[in-house]
A and B are shown apart, each in its own frame.
Chain A
Amino acid sequence: AQSVTQLDSQVPVFEEAPVELRCNYSSSVSVYLFWYVQYPNQGLQLLLKYLSGSTLVKGINGFEAEFNKSQTSFHLRKPSVHISDTAEYFCAVSVNGDKIIFGKGTRLHILP
Chain B
Amino acid sequence: GAVVSQHPSRVICKSGTSVKIECRSLDFQATTMFWYRQFPKQSLMLMATSNEGSKATYEQGVEKDKFLINHASLTLSTLTVTSAHPEDSSFYICSAPRLTGGSTDTQYFGPGTRLTVL
Contact = CB atoms under 8 A, between A and B. Distances in A.
Contact of B49 (A34, A49, A99): A99
Q: How large is the interface on A (under 10, 10 to 19, 20 to 34, 35 or more residues)?
A: 10 to 19
15 contacts: A34-B107, A42-B111, A49-B106, A90-B43, A90-B44, A96-B104, A97-B104, A98-B34, A98-B104, A100-B46, A100-B95, A100-B107, A102-B43, A102-B45, A105-B43
Interface string B92-111: 01010100000111110111
Interface in B76-118: 93, 95, 97, 103-107, 109-112
Contacts of B95: 100
A43 B95 CA distance: 11
Interface in A44-94: 44, 46, 49, 90, 94
A90 B45 CA distance: 12
A42 B107 CA distance: 17
Q: How large is the interface on B (under 10, 10 to 19, 20 to 34, 35 or more residues)?
A: 20 to 34
A44 B36 CA distance: 12
Nearest to A90: B43
Contacts of B25: none
A109 interface: no
Nearest to B108: A46
B42 interface: yes
